[in-house]
């Protein structure tokens, strides 16, 4: 799948399809396309339909196919940030935050990823349910703010504040660490818990989670009496 990522801070991924080639996207992601690209809405199995709903996505996905010649289709981000392309293969399976999926080749498999530790689900900010992508092909993810990447060696860890983990190799693990010191937790402004990510694997962090952005903007919105 050939593509270009254009624009900032609301980027679009412009995908160029050969005749007969198709691409899968999240419902409502299409922004423009050539007239010969046809859409088909897919439900899939009941399990996959409800799985997408549990992970924060629409229960329906749209499949776009170029008919009678090459075609073009663009997918737009829903918030200020970046579009992250990742090549999925037998050597790389990705776990991403809920609602990160934008588009992919049909050969990329989507499934739920459940946190194994209850504490990670309750307090880590990423929730019990994330998205897992396997198979092969190009995957496009939505990232809030800018992308910062790290490679973690085996047993190397990094502490991340709530919501800042965008995606990671499935070889990484997640745990929760409590902020040390009662005063730090109560008055430090960083909350009571941090997400601990341990390698080996690659991680993608985002600089402005949408929840943080909404909270920052809300301070300046006048409240009606």
- Of 74, 82, 78, 38, the closest CA to residue 56 belongs to 78
Q: Give me the residue spans of the domains in the chain.
A: 2-218
pLDDT tens digits for the chain (225 residues)?
Answer: 999 999 988 999 999 999 999 999 988 899 999 999 999 987 654 445 455 455 455 567 899 999 999 999 999 998 899 999 999 999 999 999 988 999 999 999 988 887 655 444 444 444 557 899 999 999 999 999 999 999 999 999 999 988 899 999 999 998 888 776 544 444 444 556 788 999 999 999 999 987 776 666 667 678 766
Cα separation, 140 vs 103, whole angstroms: 5
CA dihedral 33, 1, 98, 8 (to 10 degrees): -60
Q: Report the distance separating Cα 89 and Cα 134, nearest Å.
A: 7
- At residue 127, the pLDDT reads 52
Residue range 2-218 forms a domain whose CATH class is: alpha beta
Whether the Cβ atoms of residue 61 and residue 44 lie closer than 8 Å to each other: yes
Helix (H) or strand (E) holding 144: strand 137-144
Question: What CA–CA distances, in Å, run from 23 to 37, 42, 44, 201?
Answer: 10, 12, 15, 28
């Amino acid at each position: 799948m050939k593509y270009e990522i254009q624009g900032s801070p609301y980027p679009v991924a412009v995908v160029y399809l050969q005749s007969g080639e198709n691409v899968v996207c999240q419902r409502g992601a299409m922004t423009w396309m050539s007239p010969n690209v046809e859409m088909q809405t897919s439900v899939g199995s009941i399990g996959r339909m409800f799985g997408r709903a549990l992970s924060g996505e629409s229960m329906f996905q749209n499949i776009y196919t170029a008919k009678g010649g090459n075609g073009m289709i663009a997918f737009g981000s829903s918030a200020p940030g970046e579009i992250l392309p990742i090549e999925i293969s037998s050597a790389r399976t990705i776990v991403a935050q809920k609602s990160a999926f934008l588009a992919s080749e049909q050969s990329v498999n989507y499934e739920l990823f459940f946190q194994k530790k209850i504490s990670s689900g309750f307090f880590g900010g990423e929730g019990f349910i994330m998205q897992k992508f396997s198979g092969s092909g190009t995957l496009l993810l939505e990232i809030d703010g800018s992308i910062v990447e790290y490679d973690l060696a085996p047993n190397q860890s990094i502490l991340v504040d709530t919501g800042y983990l965008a995606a990671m190799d499935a070889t990484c693990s997640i745990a929760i660490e409590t902020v040390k010191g009662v005063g730090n937790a109560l008055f430090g402004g960083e909350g009571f818990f941090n997400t601990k990510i341990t390698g080996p694997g690659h991680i993608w962090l985002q600089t402005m989670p949408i929840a943080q952005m909404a909270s920052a903007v809300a301070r300046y919105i006048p409240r009606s009496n």
